[in-house]
Amino acid sequence: MKINIYYGGRGLIDDPTLFVINKMQAVLEELHVTVERYDLHELKNTITTLPQTLKSADGVILATTVEWYGIGGYMQSFLDACWLYADKEKLSKIYMCPIVMATTYGEREGKLNLSNAWEILGGLPCSGICGYIEDVELLENEDYIRLIEKKAENMYRTISQKFPSLPASNQAVKQKVNMTKNSDLTPQETEQLSKYAADDAYVQQQKEDISELASMFRNMMGVTDKEDSEKFIADFEKAFHPEDSTDVTYLFQIEGHKLPLYITVESGEVKCVYKEAPKADVEISISDEKLTAITKGNMTFQRAFMAGDMRMKGDFKALRLLDTLFVFA
């Protein structure tokens, strides 16, 4: 079982929500649940990509703090991204436990908003927690701690036994409101492209034109196809740091290159080759310039992704392994 925690507060030391989710995470891990946490205030530039992380989750905890009014912008942005980009079929099987702590009025409304939003998205509800906490030290009370631990156990029981829930009227919104159509474009591309560029035929024609121009300029500069087909391979092979029991594949679509760079990590060995590959765990789109900066040690893959210089599709965990598997000096 896997449960993701999405924290929408600001990460303040005295945030009571942090106390609650830390206690719940500890209980879930004691029950041998895999828990992965995403602090939205640290991932604010990539919130639109986070719905991809829902694909491997059996349950989620949406936790936020009401500091003056409502659930806050980070959590709202995440829910917006789920409406636009999440796999609705997968989301319909995910249970959600809302946690809302308030230092001012509005914790019950915040909890209700999270529950309603998740049900409108098509997800399954779990019993949550809300409370008004003036000082985080108040939560050290044994009765409160027991209550929090009990909620974590109930969530585990609900997911493991797949408790059903009665239909709710707000779920009918999905049938009344036009759902966002799926797109092959990444969230970043969807936001950046105009209505003309969003046309698949137009985008494909632009890519072909760019590839043709890049090929023409390489020929003018005396860059041969052989040189192009060997670029970056030696860099990746030299920087490879094997890890036990790590098998993963990467496909780099590099602007200006005719073929993608296909990298296979298997049994502590790495193989790099330029070829067309039908599928990889992670597909990455990046410019030649940015990849050169990474291989020279001037930038990391994580930093390039956070800055929007690199786009990806696939396994989010495998993406995070890149900087561990390939350490460029």
Indicate if the pLDDT at residue 55 is higher than 60: yes
User: Among the residues of 35-165, which ranges form H helices?
Assistant: 73-85, 88-91, 107-121, 142-160
Sketch out the chain's domains with CATH numbers: 2-176 (3.40.50.360), 224-325 (3.30.1050.10)
Indicate if the pLDDT at residue 175 is higher than 70: no
Q: In terms of DSSP bridges, do strands 261-266 and 269-274 run parallel, antiparallel, or are they unpaired? A: antiparallel
Mean pLDDT over each residue of the chain, to the nearest integer: 85
Model pTM above 0.85: no
pLDDT-derived band at 228 (thresholds 50, 70, 90) equals: low
Mean predicted confidence (pLDDT) in 262-272: 91
Mean predicted confidence (pLDDT) in 304-326: 86
* Two tokens, residue 116: 């309603």
pLDDT-derived band at 203 (thresholds 50, 70, 90) equals: low
Indicate if the pLDDT at residue 269 is higher than 80: yes
Give CA–CA dist 163/132, Å, rounded: 29
* pLDDT at res. 191: 54
Indicate if the pLDDT at residue 90 is higher than 80: yes
pLDDT-derived band at 312 (thresholds 50, 70, 90) equals: confident
**89 with 41: CB under 8 angstroms?**
no
Mean predicted confidence (pLDDT) in 160-189: 65
Nearest CA-CA partner of 31 in 171, 152, 199? 152
- DSSP class of 181: P
pLDDT-derived band at 194 (thresholds 50, 70, 90) equals: very low
Give the whole-number percent of the chain exceeding pLDDT 70: 82
* Two tokens, residue 328: 């460029």
**1 with 159: CB under 8 angstroms?**
yes
- DSSP class of 128: -
